[in-house]
Structures are given as C-alpha cells and as structure tokens.
Structure 1
Amino acid sequence: MAYRCLKDRLKTGSKPCNIARYHDYVRVASASGSIRVPLASPNVIGIVNSRGNRSHQEDFYSFATLSLNPEELRQSVKKALGVDWDPNLVSDIYARQVLYVGIYDGHGGSAVAQYLRQELHGLFESVNKTMIPELYGWIKEIGGYFKRFKGGAITPWIDGTNKEELTLEARATLTFFEADKILSADNSAQTSGATSSVALLQSLDSPSTPFFSAKRLAVTVAHCGDTRVLLCSTRDGSAFPMTETHHADSHVESIRLRRMMGSSLITDSYGESRWMGALANTRCLGDLRYKRFGITPEPEVRARLLEGEEWAFMVLVSDGISSILSDDEIVDLARGASNPKTAADRILSFTEELGGDDNSTAIIVPLLGWGKIRGPDKTKDLREYRRRQAVGTERQRRM
C-alpha cells in the first residue's frame, strides 16, 4: 500500500487540507509556563506489542495529542454527558487539547492496520463537516446494505446546510467512513481489514490539567470490531467495559444486521459464528468487498465522565489478549504495577504463559486514581490455577 501523507492526498480533492496540529506530547501548565511531557514515556502511556508465534504482525497502535475546536468539544460534552463546560476558563491551547489513543487489529494482511496507525489520528483531527455531502454520496454508491443507510451521527450535515459544529460522535463516524473512502483506492483493502478502538480523553478542569491528573475527564470511545477498551475502578478493582465485541451473534450486531440484511450467519468447522461464512467481525475498516453485505465502518460511540479518583486506568487490548483473559483478569494483572509499561508487560506475559500465540497488544493509560485501587485481587487464585494447568498441558505436549 502506498502511504502518502494525509496533506498530499487531500490536496488532490476538491477541498483544501487542514494543517496537522497533532503532536506526540501533552502540554502541562506550570507556574513558569507550559511543560511538554512526551506521550511515549513508560510513565505516561504503557504499551506492549508482540507478534506472538505468527509469521506477520497485524496489530498496530497510535497515540497523539489532537487540537480540536473548543466549541465542538463544548457541544459534545453537553450533548453526550450533560456537562456545562466553558472552554473560555482555560487558554485556547489547553481548551483544544485531546488525547487520542488507538488500537488496530488487522486481518487478511497488515495493510489496513498499518494505514490506520499512520493516518487515522491525523484524519480524525482534519476532517470537517463540509466533507459530509460528498462522503455520503460515496457511501450510497456502495449499494446493498448502504442503500438504506441514513447516515447515523452525520445525518444532520448531509445536505450541507447545517452550520452547527460536529460532535465527537459525528467526527468519529465521519473519520471512519472517510478512511474507508480513501482505502477504496487501494486494491489490498478489498480483502484486508482491521478492527479499531479509539479512545479520546479531554480534561474539563480549570485550571487545565493533563489527562493523568484530571479531576474531571471526559472519555469518548469510538469502536469497530473486537479490540477492547476497559476502565478499572479504584473502589474495588472492577473492570468496566467501554466496548462491545462486534460479532454477528452479539446483541447489537444481530439486531442491526437482521433489520437491514436478514440473516447470513454461518458456523464454521471450529464452532465459530461468521458473517457470510467468512468474517468474524461485522464492523471494521477495510474489507471493502463485503461492505454492501452489511460490514460497516460506522463506529459504536460511548462516552463517560470520570470524576475524582474513581478510576485507576484505562486499558486497550487486541483479541490476542481478550480471547485468553477475562476483563477482570486483565485489570487485576495491571493493578499495583510500578508504572503503565510494567502493567502492560504483566498482561502480555501472563497471556503467553497460558499459551497465547496470536499478535497481542496492550495499552495502559493511567488516570487520577493510578495506584489507589482498594479491595482484593479477585482473580489471583484463578490465575494461579490457570497457570498450573497451562504448565501441565505443556509438559504433556512435550512427552
């Protein structure tokens, strides 16, 4: 796949390209001005990424601090969370600051997942409502399932007359569809695809604070497929899922597909349900040849207001981990770690101990309650039992 920069690619269209403002650090206000804290620090975001025993790496990730319109952010938190946030209480540079963390799990090759790693955060920042009428025309041309598609979160802007700012839900929907439109120019995206979960963290504090020390934090998750996003509570260490797996037999997807497409769910020889007998995930980017049959890049978007020290961290994982570990095991493994990178390493190490050999990614984003989880490690005994079972199985295999 040819990875042209977003600016050059959009120059070829009818609309001008916005100048990218995203960066790889978060600005922190201080008495002497502004401090730049690198996102790649293991104390700021912890990441582990392994190929496992597979011949190719199809798991990728990205992170950046975006610069978004404060009025758009104000309207988004008002609509999604019922929160009156005044961006004028902080300087413009902090009012625009939003952390973006994305995890992408490819299938049928790494082309689409690599494209998302390089481009999706920039695209998320640069899309605008003037692109929606043309994009919607392209969506309708796909036909099949999309003949009946009304636009979802971007519906109010389809006719090009709505002057209101986008919401984050609309921006995410526009971004995911626009990514598919760009990918349609590359033949590899016909048979290659990627699931995707994107988390957006916006501090609502005044004076401004970074995401890891914010007392009021708006979290928005845009999600397609079976990558997973969890919050860990400090109250008892419980996992709170921000995503639902988009398989054809899941509650959300079975309703959507039956309403729009009837049923084409086939169980393969391993007992796994696959849409049209081919795809495990019914929402993803890429896999363009299946789009007219109900495979959609339209993200499911959820938002939550995090207050005080009620949450310790957010974790994003690919299915190389979530297919082996439960939500509670994932957060229990991360609790008590000295830093986010160590927490991510623990999750991967235990997955591999249990025989996990798939591409695997874990991302830990610390929140204000980092290191303050109360209550017992609920899965400790279970994990020890599973470890002994795995060791015994491995011994028998070698005999």
Structure 2
Amino acid sequence: MTVALPVAPASRRFFHNYFVTHIPSSSLHPDSRHIAGPHHKLPRAASVPHTPGPPGTSAPLPASAAPTNISTASPNGAVAASSSSLGFGRDLTVVRIPLRSAKHHFGASNARGSRPYNEDTNQAGTINMPAFAKRAPISLVRSAISNSRSTGEGITADGAAGDPQIFYFAVFDGHGGTECSDFLRDELHGYIEEAATDFGLTSSLRRKKNGTAAGAAANTAAEKESDDESVSSSGSSSEQPDEDNITKAINLQRELLQEYRSTVGGYFRRFKPSCFADGIALPSSRSASPSSPASPPMSSSPTPPVTIESVLTYAFLRADLDFVSAQARKPDPDDPYVSDFPLNQDEILGAPHHRTPSGHGIGGPVRFKGGSTASVALISTPTPAPFWHPAARSTLMVAHVGDTRVLLCETTTGVARPLTRDHHPSSPVEARRLTRFAESLVTDSFGEERISGLANSRAFGDMQSKRIGVSAEPEMERVDLGPAQFSFLVLVSDGVSGTLSDQEIVDVVKEARTPEQGARAVVEYATEVSRDGDNATCLVVRLGGWERRSEGGVGSMGTKEIRDARRAEANDPRRGRM
C-alpha cells in the first residue's frame, strides 16, 4: 500500500544571502590563453551565473539591467555573449556574489566575550519587496549607467519585481537563550515579505495613476520623465494601492490588534501603533470579536494604511505574537506541574496564526521565556547603480526594537549619526508609555531601571512581561542618502554600544581597509576594554563615501587618545584588583 507523504507548503521567501551584479567579463576569465580550469579569482560560489526570474519563465530583463547572455563559451575559454539593449556586450557579465564574501562591501564579526555562550545573531542579504527609494531625476538614471561603463564599477541587476535589489541587514541580541534571536534571524525577513505582499505594497519608482496620489499635479517635468524612464526600464507600471488592498490592509491591522487584546490583554487592550490606519482601534475588547465581520474605519484616515512603515510594524508585531503564542503552548521545563494549572498563568492564550514563512516550527520543544532585541536596516536604490557607488542615491529605512544600535558616519564631518535610541525604562518616552501598566520600575545595583527584571522596555518574546507593555512595536527612521554623503553604516549589539561611544565605534572603522576588517576591529576593541564581557556583534556596510572616510573632521584621530588610554587600562595587570 502506498502511503502519501505530506507535502511541505510552498515557500514564498525570496531572501538571498547574495547579491546580483554586473562585473567585467575579464574578472571571470582574465587570461584567455589557458583552456582548462576555472580562470577567475572569485570564490567558486561567486562565479555561478545568475538567471533572473523564477525557473521556467522567459520574461526578458528590464532594459536598465539587461545582462549579458553567458550560456555558451568559446574554445579559448572566453564567454560567448550577445549584446544587450544597453550595449554591455562582451564587457559585462551578470554574477551572484555571496554578500559575506564581499569583504570590500560588507563585514560582520561577533565574539562571545566572557559569557558561556553567544546569544547574538545577525543576517545580511537581499529581500524581495517593492522599492521604497525616493525617485531620482532622469539625468541621474542615465548618469549612473554611463558612469558604470566608464569607471568599470558594476551595476546591480533588477529583482524579481523589476525594481533594483533591496538590501537587508539586521542584528539581533537574544537574552535568556538563543531561541528568539535565531527565530528572528531565520524568519523576520520572511514576515516582512509576506506583509508587503498581503498589504499590496507598491513600488515608489513606478508611475502613479492620475488623480490617485495627492499632489500629483505638482510633479516637476523631471520627476515625470523619471517615472516614464522607470516604467520603461522596469516593465509594466504599477499604481497606487487600490481599494481592495487598502481594505485588506486595514482588516489585517484590525485583526492583529484584536488578537493582541484577546490573547495578551493588559497593555495591548488600548494599543494601536501610530502608523496603523486611524479608526481601527476598538474601544474595548468586547466591542468586537475576531470572528465578527470587519467594520469600516470609524473615521476617514489621514494615515495611509499601506506604507513601508505600516508593513514593517505589522511584520514585527505578527512575528512577536506568533513567537509568544507558540511558547505558551509548550511544556514549561521549570514547572513540572504546569499542566495542572490554566494556561493563562502566563497570560498568553492564543496560537500562532500559521506556520513560519519558511515552513519550519517556532523555537524548541519546551517553553522559552526569554526574548531578543532587533535592529533592521533596508537599503533601496532608485537607479541600477548599487548603493555603494560614489554617485548613487539611495534610501535607508531602519526599524528598531531594544538596545541594539544603528549608526551612520558622515563623510564631510566624520561624525557618527545615531539612527536609533535605546528602549530602556529610564527613557522619558518609554517611561510615559509604561507608567499606566508597569507594576513597578525597580533600580538594580548598577543604577539602571528595569521593568519586571528586564533592561529593555521593547523586545520580541519575553512572554511573562507582555501584559505590562514590553512590546515589539518598532521605532523607524528613514534617511535619504545622497551621493557619497555617508561613508558607511554600522549595526552593533549592546555588547559594543554599551562599552564604546558612538564616535569611538565610527573612528575604529575609519582606520580599517575594508568593512570586514572594520567590523572585526570594533569587536576586538570592545571585547578588550569591556568590563562585563557581554556578547559583541558588529556589522559594517560600505556606502558611497567609503574612500573618503578619513577626510571629514580629524579623521580617526578624534578619539585616538581615549582609545589608547582605555587599552592601556584594560591591559594593566592591576586592573583586576581594583
């Protein structure tokens, strides 16, 4: 008898740990005199030609990123290629390069410190979602392509939706264990992709339908010409979210808030993120049930329900609720008699709304009561030129929960620009938010205020503290990055930011030759001078002003004396006696 095996759900994730780019064909085959063997200096995984689009499709690439056809090779080892519409011809070849192998573009490093194990994790790659970059004038679109030809700098290929690739960088700092931070590393980008699809998020680079966008009549001729160029180079134009997508997004937001009310309660009975549409927050948990038909918004909403901010907020909250609901249904290893008591001892009554985007389970076999912080950076470019090109413009979106940190280094001044703020109970904003629900804010022996024993007032997980306001609602920051305006981007865990100042972190990276060396130097320095030995993680991302990173201000000399003194103190053999 034949037994039918269960079929795994189809994965909708298009996150990749590599990026796609055009490089000179001579990089792949530098010496055509040799016949046998791979004649390139890239890693073997980096030399695999990239075929855009899902398997089996024959849709051509957009004109802005049409690659060279590399299907055949000539006898002398050179690639036989046909010319594209942009004239790349035999000079450029499309390849996919592992991001963690691209040491001149990205670097990551972590250390356990003096802790028994490392609870920090990180992620980097490209994510499949519509572009959110600010549209560039047509002159910049053309100049980006011409610059790439003249300078030899590669340009990125477009993603599956026709927009330039969106890069995703994230750092997660777990506490109480690694279950939550590992879950976020493997699944959070999948939640973001699903939310973008479910909300019907549209690209910011496409032409809008006449009359649907406010202020469309005020567009300049250059912006209109840029829209037309974006449409012609990216395929068919997309429009503003239609009424069906708006209604669906509002219903999803309403259902999520209702689930928080019914499964967690407490703080979440009156909880509504500021970027969610107005009118969806019900006055009480008894006003509607999850099974009741969705009612229209109570007022016309000045807040658009379909934005990148609302998508990120929904994805963060959905992932958090799924995680804590999954833990509540597992046995508690610390209490063998937990089955004799109601499940709401931990105040979580629900179940995950579905399996994770990857189709895997959530966490381990037993209940996990810890959590994790998160800082996510998304970079979207309006033109085919990559965001690290000195002439490229791009848009950076940061979503942040907890006390991990994201920094930018300004090229002209060399000053560190923080894009996040720590979510601690001592923060005035967080203190006002928690005052009505926190049972007590206590001060530990180090003088730090804690809520229910936690140093962070916002975090994923932490199921026993959800009712008093430990939320995963992200704070977001959008930054338009001009040509070479910033030198690099840094993401660090609190094992680094709690030991080093923002300017120290930036100055250490300035002295490194590559982002990979910079990330390693930051972690080594933080571990050397740390007193508590916390886990330390650092991610460094190259931006357009990387080559000029030491020109602004006094370069890396601003904190050199401080860093030398701290190293001398850390290496003093009498330090342990003090």
Coarse TM-score class (shorter-chain normalised): 0.7 to 0.9
Match of 1:322 in 2: 497
Match of 1:390 in 2: 570
The one of 249, 253, 256 equivalent to 1:135 is 256
Match of 1:246 in 2: 423
* Preserved contact between residue 198 and residue 223 of structure 1 (Cα < 8 Å): yes
Give the Cα separation in 1 of the matches to 2:525 and 2:560: 12
Does 2:308 correspond to 1:168?
Answer: yes
Match of 1:211 in 2: 387
Match of 1:25 in 2: 18
The one of 35, 40, 46 equivalent to 2:100 is 40
Match of 1:14 in 2: none
* Preserved contact between residue 128 and residue 159 of structure 2 (Cα < 8 Å): no
Give the Cα separation in 2 of the matches to 1:217 and 1:67: 17
Task: Please say which of residues 157-166 and 28-37 is displaced more in the overlay.
Answer: 157-166
Return the offset for 1:152. Answer: 3.0
Return the offset for 1:313. Answer: 0.3
* Preserved contact between residue 507 and residue 559 of structure 2 (Cα < 8 Å): yes
Give the Cα separation in 1 of the matches to 2:18 and 2:116: 33
Give the Cα separation in 2 of the matches to 1:161 and 1:346: 54
Letter in 2 for 1:148: R
Return the offset for 1:345. Answer: 1.0
Aligned 1:155-234 pairs, distance under 5 A = 155=277, 158=280, 166-183=306-323, 184-187=325-328, 191-205=369-383, 208-213=384-389, 215-234=392-411
State the Cα RMSD in Å.
Answer: 2.7
Letter in 2 for 1:366: R
Return the offset for 1:390. Answer: 1.6
Give the Cα separation in 2 of the matches to 1:167 and 1:322: 31
Give the Cα separation in 2 of the matches to 1:218 and 1:160: 36
Match of 2:449 in 1: 273
* Preserved contact between residue 438 and residue 468 of structure 2 (Cα < 8 Å): no
Letter in 1 for 2:392: K
Does 2:475 correspond to 1:300?
Answer: yes
Return the offset for 1:265. Answer: 1.6
* Preserved contact between residue 98 and residue 201 of structure 1 (Cα < 8 Å): yes
Structure ranking higher on relative contact order (CA contacts 8 Å, 6+ apart):
1
Deviations 1:90-137 (A, max 9, x none): 966451521111100001111101111111112211222344343222
* Percent identity for Structure 1 against Structure 2: 37
* Preserved contact between residue 316 and residue 473 of structure 2 (Cα < 8 Å): yes
Q: 1:154 to 1:235 in 2, by over 3 A?
A: same
Q: Which runs of 5+ in 2 are unaligned?
A: 1-6, 24-87, 142-156, 200-247, 281-293, 329-365
* Preserved contact between residue 190 and residue 289 of structure 1 (Cα < 8 Å): no
* Preserved contact between residue 172 and residue 222 of structure 1 (Cα < 8 Å): yes
Q: 1:135 to 1:366 in 2, by over 3 A?
A: same
Give the Cα separation in 2 of the matches to 1:287 and 1:133: 23
Q: 1:315 to 1:303 in 2, by over 3 A?
A: same
Letter in 2 for 1:63: A
Going by fraction, where is helix more abundant, 1 or 2? 1
Match of 2:191 in 1: 123
The one of 33, 51, 55 equivalent to 2:116 is 55
* Preserved contact between residue 235 and residue 310 of structure 1 (Cα < 8 Å): yes
Return the offset for 1:305. Answer: 0.5
The one of 177, 181, 185 equivalent to 1:113 is 181
SS in 2 for 1:382: helix
TM-score, reference length from structure 1:
0.85
Return the offset for 1:161. Answer: 6.6
The one of 515, 522, 533 equivalent to 1:347 is 522
SS in 2 for 1:255: helix
Matched positions, count: 370
Q: 1:85 to 1:136 in 2, by over 3 A?
A: farther
SS in 1 for 2:547: coil
* Preserved contact between residue 158 and residue 165 of structure 2 (Cα < 8 Å): no
Give the Cα separation in 2 of the matches to 1:395 and 1:360: 25
Q: Which runs of 5+ in 1 are unaligned?
A: 1-6, 12-16, 78-82
Match of 1:365 in 2: 541
Give the Cα separation in 2 of the matches to 1:160 and 1:348: 52
* Preserved contact between residue 273 and residue 473 of structure 2 (Cα < 8 Å): no
* Preserved contact between residue 257 and residue 272 of structure 2 (Cα < 8 Å): no
Return the offset for 1:222. Answer: 0.3
Task: Please say which of residues 25-34 and 319-328 is displaced more in the overlay.
Answer: 25-34
